[in-house]
Amino acid sequence: MKSAKILIVDDDELNQVILTKTLTPKYQVHCVSSAAQMFTWLEDNTVDLILLDIIMPNMNGYDALKQLKHDERTQAIPVIIISANDSTDDEAKGLELGAMDYITKPFGSAIVRARVKNQLTIKQKNDLLEMLASIDGLTEIPNRRYFDEHFAREWRRSARAGLPLSILMIDIDFFKRYNDHYGHQKGDECLRRVAQALVNNCQRGSDFIARYGGEEFVAVLPGSEEQTAMALANKLCNVVRDLSITHIDSPVSDKVTVSIGATTLTDGGEDSCEMELVEKADKAMYKAKEQGRNGFAFYG
């Protein structure tokens, strides 16, 4: 796991230097000097493993560990406790609070590397299982569960930074008629082709597409203003239409088309909740349907 990211939380600069030197050849290593700095850093960064010192000013490692494990955003991050105390009682306390392992000072480089490697290997396997649980089996793009988690994170990030956040709700027009006319196998293939076309044409690294359910998809566009969201909605309508999937039973086109609803949060979310944004995008999608489908609409 060469790209694995490790956060060292220790108020002793010498310990930071030793651990960084030990781990840097294989991993990305970041250091902070207190629990407060750790929580601030985690607000805007992801990490694969935390090395957490027990004895620190203001908040000790045990209390920091409790807070990590009580927050759904950080509870899955594996933690290795580091301490100068080799008491089995202290080790047991850390493990009971949710730590995955325990390293005592002074550090033995080989031991540190071995224990870090073990925890990252376990995390890699757990991440794979989590990924499989978050992918839609038919279209092989993120599913509704993954969307809910991802959208909640982006909502919090936008709220903290005061940045815009846009949502697109995308529905295949007259998909039931398509299924009834061509059969479910063709319907499944249609869903797969539309899903991949949507994903392939959301080219910004921060944009996110998921299958919302049935023939509906949803896009999360962090940092996108109204005009950007509408431009992408128009592009995706054209992209799906250009797939030229025959749909002779559609009243609006002889090809498969989509209706898209767009909306944008511009105030960082301070006066609304995340589900209101989804509801607005949904209302915009139905507005697009009322306007004749095969197009998009915006809910302001």
pLDDT at 1 over 50: no
pLDDT > 90: percent of the chain: 76
Catalytic one of 91, 154, 215, 274? 215
Query: Among 287, 288, 164, which residue's Cα sits nearest to residue 220?
Result: 164
- What are the backbone dihedrals phi and psi of residue 266, each rounded to the nearest 5 degrees, phi first? -115, -10
Instruction: Determine the pLDDT at residue 65.
Output: 96
User: What's the whole-model pTM score?
Assistant: 0.70
Local structure of residue 135 (DSSP, 8 states): B
**What band does 69 get if pLDDT is binned at 50, 70 and 90?**
very high
**What band does 86 get if pLDDT is binned at 50, 70 and 90?**
low
Q: Is the distance from CB of 29 to CB of 20 less than 8 angstroms?
A: yes
pLDDT in tens, 89-104: 778 888 999 999 999 8
Instruction: Determine the pLDDT at residue 42.
Output: 94
Out of 81-90, 190-199, 242-251, least confident range: 81-90
The C-alpha atoms of residue 19 and residue 105 are separated, in whole angstroms, by 11
Q: In which residue are the tokens 């960084």 written?
A: 20
**What band does 52 get if pLDDT is binned at 50, 70 and 90?**
very high
pLDDT in tens, 126-184: 888 888 899 999 999 999 999 998 998 898 888 888 899 999 999 999 999 999 999 99
Catalytic residue at 215? yes
**What band does 267 get if pLDDT is binned at 50, 70 and 90?**
low
Q: What residues have CB less than 8 Å from 141, skipping those under 6 apart?
A: 135, 195, 196, 198, 199, 209, 210, 211
